[in-house]
Structure 1
Amino acid sequence: MNDRRIYPLKGLPQQRQIWSWISYDVANQSFTLIVNTMLFSVFFGAVIVQDDTKDDRLWSLAFGGSMLLAALLSPLAGAAADERAWKKSGLIVTGVVCALFTCGLAFLKPGQIWLTMLLYIPANFAFAIGENFLASFLPTLARKEEVGRLSGFSWGLAYFAALVLIFITAGSMMLFKLNDPEKWRPFFMMAGLWFLFFTIPTILWLKEPAVEHTVHSGKSWLTAGFVRLGETFKHLRGYRDLAMLMAASFFFGTGMSVVVSFASKLAGEYGFTNEKMVIFMAVITVSGIIGTVVPMLFQDRIGHRLTSALLLGVWVLAAAGFAGYAYLYEAHMVNGVGHYPTWPLWLIGNLLGFGLGSLGSANRAFVGYLAPPEKSAEFFGIWGLMIKLAAVMTFPFAWVKDTTGNPQALLLLAGFIAVGLVLTLLIDEKRGHAVAQRGVEGAE
């Protein structure tokens, strides 16, 4: 039996380094799942604001503002990390800040809106910047033929951690009768402590990547960061394949943002009760775990472009299928009550969850394959800018959804993903990787 089927990272060097890196992928799941996806937006409106006329706007201000700030500062933070070899420091600082501020959410009282903002905005900002620092280690932890395997394996474990957190949360709600949002404070403390605990191996064993890099002597880190970004944009034509991937990431990142932000809401609109919603989220998470197997097993073998294109094709079909289902469901409504079966939504939801896991992992690996090691934090910062700005594209989706209906909004979503597919097909990954290996001079 092939040992790699049992342990996919068999034969990779730097095993302790790899596992200390993976541990952070597991750590930050507590924040993205419990705080951003599942509980805190509801807690914020029902417990902190207690005013239906302004809770959505205040939540949008907190979430959108922190993501916009992270998007704008991601490239500069990455450039400074490359300049001063601060990748590990940046990762640890952002992780600890996010974890501690998340614990602080457990002590919030009704009406403390501004205190909530002062805790949540830095926490979400630190989480978003930390994702970029984490990804920037990938080009130095695995060889070019291994980045897909490592990214997929780590992404899969992160999804498994999310599944464990879902079961802990749902089990606690049922066992201790914590259905009332007022009683959710222990979950925020758990999320922060989980983050801190799984960051410990990263603190102890992950090392700053040993790569040659240009140092701008006599300049502050801030000035040097801007200088590095200027140099990168000067040579951007040489990095045209990586730039094309960044543009593609923006468009299909919209799909990821919509799935994360609207999956539970859409499911609720098509007849899913709260109990079914938790099960639906768990099933999507399992599909995400399965999805990460694809890039882990095939991406390095068949190529990053082909893998991404195939996965994007599946997602275009899933989004278009969802639009068709929405049309049929609404066509069979009688007096505002749906009479169309919900089983197709389980199939579509699984496809979307599969795509969320596989595309997230494959995209991170693809960027790692095309990014020069000496500028990895900078380029992953630009990648972070694209992914986080993609969250802005949920506004056109929401506007079409509210004004014309779900089928039209889902067709718009399929269109965004299709644009990402077309841009992906224009990438020459061999040329892009050759430029990355030659460094800045090769991008002249």
Structure 2
Amino acid sequence: MENKPQSQNFTEGVSRREVWSWAMFDFANSGYTTVVITAIFNAYFVAVVAGNEDWGTFAWTASLAASYMLIILTAPALGAYADAYAMKKPLLFMTTIGCIVFTALLFFIGPGDLWLAVTLIILTNFFFGTGENLIAAFLPELAKSQSLGKVSGWGWGLGYLGGLVSLGCSLAYVTWAQDQGYEANQYVPVTMLITAAIFAIASTPTFLYLKERAQPQPHLSGRRIIRESFSRLRDTLKHVRHYQDLMRFLLCLVFYQAGIQTVIALAAIYAQQAMGFNTQETMLLVLLVNITAALGAFTFGHIQDKLGHLTTIGLTLVGWMIMILLAWYADDRAMFWLAANIAGLCLGASQSAGRALVGLFSPSSRRAEFFGLWGLAVKLSSILGPLTYGWVSWVSRGDHRLAMLITGSYFIIGLLILVRIDVSRGRQAALHEPTDI
């Protein structure tokens, strides 16, 4: 992409090429979530690795929960360290390599390899989630406050296109492999190599052109790195009342993201177990959902700065509730396809608006740290929602419809908290950061 003059949407010194390179990381890492977490490996884990046992779905959600717990324990300190030492980009590079390597190692997973699969999923998802926090922390450095939603939407939209590329390549291979008479344990592992390779190639522009603009901050003398990072985190939590709208939104985020993360982690499992889809049909479904998700992210990204981030999120939460009811009630594939594409539109819009709102509420000196808190909230929801679904499906002996219906309660709770947030007050708190923090 040509390095054209600065746009009015970007901060001083930021070029279009740099913003594109930042958004390309969303393009790169979305292949992981689309292929491994949403469309292929999750259903393969339950049907092949776990042998379609009733506990298979719970084992999958428990593996994800363990990885998210690791992120929760490390993200705040990593964010504080990245702020204090201006190390977002080096840390992002290390997490990217980790996710790529362990995703490629999923190639070796076959029937019965339960504990190896669990270990590798925990590692891949840990590195993915940590990198997701770090790349998000660059957003307020690139976009002006009035354009955070638009630029965030570009990233999410490009991300869904990246998911389409990885899933499309995997679908082409799976279709060929099935025509050759291959079984799932022969062709699914190859899709892990495809996903890892695309992640590596597509993330390259990020490390070539994205700049680390943050400056190292004064360090607390006589303390080790980890102790210093936790000290900064304790300081932030001590002054949490000053950022009451940010904290309230993070609580809101925990609940509505619990529903979103459940849909992301269990979409293919629900399609196969409740609706009778095969692997190829499931991949095609997720492929089309990624198209609607990209449209949702691009469309709402351009209008949410005018419509308002809270209004955008509120509308999408209503959409999520409608989607849950349709998926629960669906007795034919047409209604389920409709529900899935509503989920796609809401997914792109709600993810983009949520990230932009955190950027709006974050003081400039603590962006990585506050995006670490954002990541912590999302990861907590990623434990809460999928584990609830997995547990309900287990104790109900495989009633995935009941598990999906219960998931809808998280969107209702999120909406009730959302109406108590004041964007203007939250933005003023970020602009007038207390000097004693």
TM range (shorter): 0.7 to 0.9
Evaluate the alpha carbon distance shift between residue 413 and residue 433 of structure 1 in structure 2; reply closer, same or farther with a 3 A threshold.
same
2:9 touches 2:143 (CA, 8 Å); kept in 1?
A: no
Evaluate the alpha carbon distance shift between residue 214 and residue 437 of structure 1 in structure 2; reply closer, same or farther with a 3 A threshold.
farther
TM-score relative to the length of structure 1: 0.86
- State the SS of the aligned residue for 2:435: helix
Matched, 1:315 2:309: no
Match of 1:370 in 2: 361
What does 1:217-296 align with in structure 2 at a 5 Å threshold?
Answer: 217-268=221-272, 269-296=274-301
Q: Which of 190, 194, 197 is the aligned partner of 2:194?
A: 190
Q: Greater CA deviation, 219-228 or 388-397?
A: 388-397
Code of the aligned partner of 1:396: T
The CA deviation at 1:137 is 0.7
1:47 touches 1:182 (CA, 8 Å); kept in 2?
A: no
Matched, 1:397 2:389: yes
CA distance in 1: counterparts of 2:174 and 2:55, whole angstroms: 28
Code of the aligned partner of 1:439: E
The CA deviation at 1:114 is 5.2
Point out where structure 1 has 5 or more consecutive residues left out of the alignment: 1-8, 330-340
Q: Which of 375, 384, 392 is the aligned partner of 2:375?
A: 384
Matched, 1:14 2:8: no
The CA deviation at 1:365 is 0.9
2:77 touches 2:233 (CA, 8 Å); kept in 1?
A: yes
CA distance in 1: counterparts of 2:411 and 2:84, whole angstroms: 35
Match of 1:426 in 2: 420
Matched, 1:441 2:435: yes
Code of the aligned partner of 2:73: L
CA distance in 2: counterparts of 1:423 and 1:57, whole angstroms: 29
CA offsets 1:209-249 (integer angstroms, 9 cap, x no match)? 23574432332220111101110011100000000110011
Q: Which of 204, 209, 213 is the aligned partner of 1:209?
A: 213
Q: Greater CA deviation, 174-183 or 414-423?
A: 174-183
The CA deviation at 1:110 is 6.3
CA distance in 2: counterparts of 1:314 and 1:80, whole angstroms: 38
Match of 1:334 in 2: none
Percentage of matched positions with identical amino acids: 31
The CA deviation at 1:59 is 4.1
Matched, 1:360 2:356: no
- State the SS of the aligned residue for 2:421: coil
- State the SS of the aligned residue for 1:28: helix
CA distance in 2: counterparts of 1:321 and 1:423, whole angstroms: 24
Match of 2:4 in 1: none
Matched, 1:92 2:97: no
1:83 touches 1:221 (CA, 8 Å); kept in 2?
A: no
The CA deviation at 1:42 is 4.7
2:38 touches 2:267 (CA, 8 Å); kept in 1?
A: no
The CA deviation at 1:205 is 1.7
Tell me the C-alpha RMSD between the 2 structures: 2.6
CA distance in 1: counterparts of 2:62 and 2:131, whole angstroms: 21
TM-score relative to the length of structure 2: 0.88
- State the SS of the aligned residue for 2:20: helix
Evaluate the alpha carbon distance shift between residue 25 and residue 238 of structure 1 in structure 2; reply closer, same or farther with a 3 A threshold.
same
CA offsets 1:272-322 (integer angstroms, 9 cap, x no match)? 444432322222112111111233111111221122112212222332344
Evaluate the alpha carbon distance shift between residue 186 and residue 83 of structure 1 in structure 2; reply closer, same or farther with a 3 A threshold.
same
CA distance in 2: counterparts of 1:114 and 1:201, whole angstroms: 35
CA distance in 1: counterparts of 2:349 and 2:135, whole angstroms: 18
CA distance in 1: counterparts of 2:195 and 2:166, whole angstroms: 9
What does 1:5-44 align with in structure 2 at a 5 Å threshold?
Answer: 12=10, 13-44=14-45
CA distance in 2: counterparts of 1:148 and 1:367, whole angstroms: 10
The CA deviation at 1:179 is 4.6
Match of 1:83 in 2: 84
1:20 touches 1:202 (CA, 8 Å); kept in 2?
A: yes
2:99 touches 2:125 (CA, 8 Å); kept in 1?
A: yes
Evaluate the alpha carbon distance shift between residue 179 and residue 170 of structure 1 in structure 2; reply closer, same or farther with a 3 A threshold.
farther
Code of the aligned partner of 2:365: E
Evaluate the alpha carbon distance shift between residue 262 and residue 189 of structure 1 in structure 2; reply closer, same or farther with a 3 A threshold.
closer
- State the SS of the aligned residue for 2:338: helix
Evaluate the alpha carbon distance shift between residue 422 and residue 110 of structure 1 in structure 2; reply closer, same or farther with a 3 A threshold.
closer
Code of the aligned partner of 1:390: S
Q: Greater CA deviation, 140-149 or 191-200?
A: 191-200
Evaluate the alpha carbon distance shift between residue 194 and residue 392 of structure 1 in structure 2; reply closer, same or farther with a 3 A threshold.
same
Q: Number of aligned residue pairs: give it.
A: 421
